[in-house]
Structures are given as C-alpha cells and as structure tokens.
Structure 1
Amino acid sequence: MPTAVDPSTRPAPDRPSRAARDQDRTARRIRLLLAAAIVAAAFNLRPAVTSLGPLLERVRDGLGMSATVAGLLTAVPSLCFALFGLAAPGLARRIGPAAVLTAGMGAVTAGLAARALAGSTAVFLLLSAVALAGIAVSNVLMPVIVKRYFPDRVGPVIGLYSMALSAGTAVAAALAVPLTAAVGGSWRAGLGIWAASAAVGLALWLAVLAVGRDRGADPGAGSPAGAAEGERSLRILRSPTAWALAVFFGLQSTGAYATMGWLPQIYQDAGISAGESGVLLAVTMAISVPVSFALPSLAAARGDQRLFVVLLGGCGLVGYLGLAFAPAGAPWLWAVLAGLSNCSFPLAITMVGLRARSAAGVAKLSAFAQSLGYLISIPGPVLVGALYQGTGSWYAPVGLLAVLLVPQMGVGLLAGRARQIEDEV
C-alpha cells in the first residue's frame, strides 16, 4: 500500500527569485526607455529640413541670401546625409551606437538653436550642416540600435521609428508658419523652437546612457572585439543585395523629395488653390504615418519583402500617371497614392535591419545603402525642376518619376529576397 505523502514535505515548485524578477522588471523598463528615446529621436530627424521650406523666403530676406544659395539649401541635406553617414559605423565601433546617437542628437539640438541666431548666410549654412551631420549619423545608426537592443522585435520597433519620423516630417511642415506667427512672427524664433523638441530627444538618450552605466551594462559601449573585426572584414562592395538596397533607397528618396518639393506646384498649375494644394501635400505626408507603423511589422513577418516592393511601386505608378494627365480629376486619390509610394522608405529601413545577421553588419549595410542612396537622390528634384522649366508642363517631369519606379521595383525585387549579406561576401 503506497505511503501517503505529507503535502508540507513536498518540494515547492521552482519560482524565479526576487532578484531575478527585479532584474526582469528593470530590463523591461530600460527597453521602454530605449523605445521612447528611439521615438523622440526619430521625430526630430526631419524638422531641420521641413521647417525651413515654408520660411525660406523670410530667411532669404533676413540674411540677404541669393536665389542660388537658397537653391543650394535643397541639396545640402542629402549631401550631408551621404557624407557624414559614412562616419557612423566607425564611430559606433569605437564608442557604441547609443553614445554616437546621443552625440548626434546633441549636434541637432545645438545646430538648430545656433543657426536661428546666425548673422550671415555662411554661418547659417555651417550651423545647418552641424544639425544635418547629427541627423546623418542618427539615420544610419537607428536600424543598428533596433537590431542590437530589440533583435526579437525588429519589425514593430522600426515601425515605431518610421511612424515617428513621418510624424515629425508632417508636423514640422504643417506647423512651421503657425508656430512662427505664435512666437511673434520672427523666422529666427520659428526655426529655433525646434531645438526644444530636439532637446527632449537628447535628454532621453542621456538617460539611456546613464541608466546603462548605473547597471554596469552601458548601452553606449563599443562593439566587442570579435564583432568589430567582423564588421571591418565585411566586404560590403561584393554584396549584390547591398548594391540593390542602396539603389532602391536612392530611387525611393528621389521620388519622395521630388513629391515633397513640387506637388503643391503641380496642383496649383492645374487650377487648384494654394490652400488646397498645401492640404493635399499634408495628406501625402500624413498617410505615411499609420502605414509606416504597420508596414515594417508586416514586412518583417514575411521574411521576403518583394510583394511590398511591387505594391508600393504600383501605387506610385498610378499616382504619377494621374498627376501627369489629370491632376485636378481626382487630386485626393493621387495624393494618397503618392503618399503610399513614399512609404518605400520604412520598407527600405526594414530591409536594412533584416539583410544582415549582426548589429555590426547592419551598421555597415546601413551606412553604405543610405550614403550611396542619398547621393543618388540629389539630382532628381533638380532635374524635375529643369524639365518643368524647359517644357512648361508636368508631363515630362512627372513622367520621369513614373519611369524611375520601374528600376526601383527591379532593384527592390533583388533587395527584398530573404537573404543576408554575410552569405554573399
């Protein structure tokens, strides 16, 4: 007959110790802080550019800026993103991506605040370059941060990042003039106010570094020796996927910058009022906010992103054809389709995070794809303007944007395959 076992003598089921539970809670809080810092930084990666456009005429008058220099300002962001972005992987290897991103947010804050006080065109351009340099390294390292600290949540966190970036782009463009009026009408105050927003992002990243140091696991620490050596030995130029992703990034940037720069003029030339054309541009930018949040998760879940490349490219083709031949026929539809086409940006960033196995690989791929991509995008908006001036119509300029979508989808189909660059090089 079996002997009864006293329940009081049974071993208690294994439970995590209080120390382990406290450690888990602390880790979750740090991840939440990191997520908040990512969102705040992303929100501040475009106001330096999009807040300037609506106030450019006032800035020109205030500084005595020539039309030629004002035109140069439209190309400076892409050039700075390309050149300064190349330095990001080396800096991240030495002091860590989080520390470099913190320094980048510091440069954005300082550059925006100081350029509002500039007394000459040369100083204004120099201080704009300081802010753009901070944005450039942040552009490159944001996918690295996500890959390193959220390896199991790449899609959702890139979705948060992309949504915040789109929101910052739209908010700065929409509120630049009203905010300037609210602070007294001075373009200096209207531009400088965005430094306060950037300072919030800087504060959060300083908190990330401080919390990491307190716990003895500094998020700003550089890459381990093995990872750093792996990054240096990764011959990115030998990867067909890296080249395809860089060209895809450049072509989608060409369409996005041309749309943001010229869409209101296209509508106004079709007889649509300036007020409504501005609202239509806001719709184009705003539609990307929810899509940028959902798309990275959907794309990461599939592994293969070629379907999204084709869908977004198809939206752009229909939208551009509508803008070329009947801009006033269905203006809201064309604005929505153009906005959906511009969502190729969060798709490209998602693919950067998925096409390399390690954070070091993502750093090198991100720097290569974004730097080369931004260089590719520089001539596009200028060529669109030249074609418009030369022909007096929008058939050729918008037709060019539609034609460029064909190679964009072609290289996107190569970049969207489920593979890693480490296997190619």
Structure 2
Amino acid sequence: MSEHRPLPLWAGRTAALLGIALVALTLRQAVAAISPILGEIRVDIPISSIGVGLLGTLPPILLAASGFVAPRVARGIGLDGGILLALLLMTLGHLVRAFAPGFAVLLAGSVVALAGTGIGNVLLPPIVRRYFPDRVALLTAVYVCIVGVSTAVPAALAAPVAERIGWRFSLGMWSLTSAVALVPWLLLIVRERRRRLSDDLAAESAPTTLVARLWRSRVALSITVVFSTSTICTYAAFAWLPEILGDIAGSTPTEAGVLLAVTGIVSVPGALIAPLLVARLRNVGWLIAAGVASFVVGYLGLLLAPATLTLLWVLLIGSGSILFPVSLVLINVRTRTQGGTVALSGFSQGVAYALGALGPLIVGLLHDASGGWTLPLLFLLAVALVATVPAITLARPAFVEDQLGQSKVR
C-alpha cells in the first residue's frame, strides 16, 4: 500500500468518519437481536425446531454469500452506493421482521437484513481505505470495537424491551439505527455529485480477472486462512463452549454463560491494539502466531486440566480472536489498490464465513460420534494450528496485485 502523510482525523472527513462508525454499529444487530426473544416470538408465530435451526444458520450463510456478491455490487454502483444499499436492506429487513404475520415473512425479513449486513461487512474495509488511507489501522480498530458493541447491545436489550413493549417493537427498533446511518452516506453521495466526482469504478471495484485469480495469490490465501481460523473457532465457541464447560469443567449454566461472555470481553483490548500493531510491526507473523498460541494453549488446557484453571483457558481462547481484527487490517495493507481491497475483502470473508458456518456443525458431529469432547477439541486445536502457515507466509510484506501481475489495475 502506498504511503500516506497523516492528516487530522476530522480534516474534511467528518461525514465519512460518522458514517463508518454508524455502519459498524449496525453490522451485528440483525444477528444478535432475534435469538434472545425467540420464546416470545414463538408464542405468536409457530416456529418448529427446524425453523429455529434455520434462523440460526442464516447469519453465516448470508455473510458468506454476500462476500462473493458485494464486489459485484461495488463494481455496479460504487463503494458509497454499496454501503447505501446495505443500510437500506438492513432497515427494510428489520421492519419486515417486526411486522411478520408468519414464519415465512420472518425468515424473508431475516434474509434481507442479513444480506445487507454481509454487504456492509465486505465493503467497510475498502471504505476505510478510501476515506482514511493515512489511518487505516486506527479506523479499523475503532470500527471493530463498535462492531463488538453492535453484538452486545441488541443481545442485552432485546429481552427487556420485548417484555415491556413487545417482541415486534424489539425487532423493529433497530431499523432506526440503520436509517440514521443512511444520513452521512446520502450527504457524501450528494457532495460527490455536486463536485461532479463520479465514482471511478476501476479504482473502487474489483476487476473480474482479479477476483477470479485470487486463489493463485499466496497473500490472499494466507489472509483467508487466518480469517477462517478466527471464524471457525469463534462460531464454535458461541455454539458449544457453555455445554463443553458444563460437561468437562463442571460449570453451572450460569457460570458457563458468564465464561462465554468473558471470551467476548477479553477480545475488546485485542481489537483495539492488534490493528495498530499490524501497522507498526515489520513482521506481522509474530502477531498471528500469538493469536494461534492463545487458541492452542486454551484448547490444550480444556483437554488436560479443564476444571483446574477454567477461567485462564477461556481467557486464552477469547484472546485468540485477535486474528479477526488482524485479518481486517491485512486486507487493506496487503493490497495496493481499492479494487484489490474490495476483491480480497469479498474473497476472504466469503470463504471464512462459509467455513465458519461448518465449524459448529463439525464440532457437533464429532461430539455425537465420540460421545465426548476430546475429539471436538482436538479438531479446534488442529484448526488453530493451520494458521501457523500464514504466520510464516505473511511474515514478509507482499501484495496481492504484485503476485497476480495486476499492479497496474488501480
């Protein structure tokens, strides 16, 4: 990535900064707002166990699909237009879910909202690069932390709001945040048109040839492996960690729930620090290795001494999630062009979320097949160890476009 002289953070970019923060705030609301109130929803809308499972598997599936759709969206309507579309889809999806008369409409609203979420996920890294090329690491750290808030707040407020006002209001109120987030992006688009600075699609979007050839880039594959390791381990923890801790560490359901929350809390400092370290370290492989080591030692602890230092093992597993913000920064700093950033963001997130959806399923199948948690934990241990390969291959600075002979593509 080319060098950029740092500018004051607010220098002519207030709307963009506000827009990025507001988009980040919307990116997990559709995922986190429904599961805490499924009991209340099922009182009014009959939902089978299969239906509940379908709602639970939609997020990673839609996030994965959006990873491959979003670069086409950017190529068609530009980055700003893509973000605008994502916010419109999220707003519409929240409202459709709130007014759903039956399960089919509830499901359709979830698909729409999650499609918008997925597009926003993919386009936010290149948006950061476009407006803040001099502060990519800082802005990535900020928006990753805000995404964490976007996960915690809906989960915490959904049930209390549903009890006091009703589940429809609890689902629909999140449309307000995505609607408000539209304002700065509308201002940016109007400002661009007034200046007659139409989007340069060659710069903003990913050339088809570049997207199709990413499988041949060692950098792209390495970043995708790091991202995939993070998503598989994270989704597996959300789905199974409380049950694992109850069975092998003797944790009560309340204790297991608190320990799961600890994995999220401990990830916040990493989300703030890791992006800044990526920008400063000459060898980012050490940072990836630290994340891998945290996962590995945490899983080994649960295998060998689960009841002895349970909190420590959970803290280590949560600390391994630094691989997520590291991946997001690498998407920007290992590409030379906006087109390359869009392509790599879609490619890496599409593959990672697809694999992340399989993680809990594989853990469940291994548990059913073995009757215990040793085999599932060994599987997660092996997944974490795979990321030692990109820790080596990403040690030296290299760029996707250079490896694909696409450096002339803007």
What are structure 1's unaligned runs of at least 5 residues?
Answer: 1-23
1:251 match: 229
User: Which one of 47, 55, 68 corresponds to residue 65 of structure 1?
Assistant: 47
Give the distance between the partners of 2:205 and 2:111, measured in 1 at CA: 31
Q: What are the Cα deviations for residues 374-419 of structure 1, in whole angstroms up to 9, with x where unaligned?
A: 2222211111122233434322222211121111222343245411
Q: 1:313 aligns with which of 281, 292, 310?
A: 292
Distance, in Å, in 2 between the alignment partners of 1:96 and 1:229 is 7
1:5 corresponds to:
none
2:79–2:204 contact (8 Å) kept in structure 1: no
CA 1:289–1:204 in 2, change beyond 3 Å: closer, same or farther? Answer: farther
Give the secondary structure class of the aligned counterpart of 1:118.
Answer: coil
Larger radius of gyration: 1
Structure-1 residue corresponding to 2:88: 106
Residue correspondence of structure 1 range 14-413 to structure 2 within 5 A: 28=10, 30-181=12-163, 183-184=164-165, 186-214=166-194, 216=195, 221-225=198-202, 227=203, 231-234=207-210, 235-269=213-247, 270-413=249-392
Between the aligned partners of 2:205 and 2:178, the Cα distance in structure 1 is 34
TM-score, normalisation: structure 1: 0.86
Letter of the structure 1 residue corresponding to residue 397 of structure 2: A
Any idea what SS the aligned residue of 2:128 has?
Answer: helix
**Which range is displaced more, 351-360 or 369-378?**
369-378
Superposed displacement of residue 284, structure 1: 1.1
- Please give the alpha-carbon distance, in whole angstroms, between the structure 1 residues aligned to 2:234 and 2:191: 38
CA distance 1:418–1:217, change in 2 (3 Å): farther
Aligned residues of 1:94 and 1:223 also touching (Cα < 8 A): no
Structure 1 range deviating more: 255-264 or 85-94: 85-94
Share of identical aligned residues, percent?
35
Tell me which amino acid in the other structure corresponds to 1:231. Answer: P
Partner of 2:4 in structure 1?
A: none
Give 3-state SS (helix, strand or coil) of 1:33's partner: helix
Structure 2: gaps spanning 5 or more residues: 1-6, 405-410
Q: Distance in 2 between matches of 1:360 and 1:54?
A: 39
Amino acid across the alignment from 2:199: G
Any conservation in 1 of the 2:206–2:342 contact (CA below 8 Å)? no
Inter-partner Cα distance in structure 2 for 1:328 and 1:188: 42
CA distance in 2, matches of 1:292, 1:279: 20
Assess if the C-alpha contact under 8 Å between 1:309 and 1:416 holds in 2: no
CA contact (8 A) 1:93 1:222 kept: no
CA distance in structure 1 between the aligned counterparts of 2:384 and 2:66, rounded to whole angstroms: 27
Give 1:147's aligned amino acid: R
SS at match of 1:378: helix
After TM superposition, give the deviation of residue 297 of structure 1 in Å. Answer: 1.2
**TM-score, structure 2 normalization:** 0.89
Distance 2:301 2:221 in 1: 31
C-alpha distance 195-328 of structure 1, shift in aligned 2 (>3 A): farther
Instruction: Sort the Cα spacing of 1:260 and 1:229 in 2 relative to 1 into closer, same or farther, 3 A.
Output: closer
> Separation in 2 of the partners of 1:284 and 1:402?
17
Q: Residues 248 and 98 (structure 1 numbering): CA distance in 2 closer, same or farther, change over 3 Å?
A: same
Instruction: Tell me the SS of whatever aligns to 1:342.
Output: helix
Where do 4+ consecutive residues of structure 1 move more than 6 Å?
none
Structure 1: distance between partners of 2:114 and 2:360: 19
**3-state SS of 1:287 partner:** helix
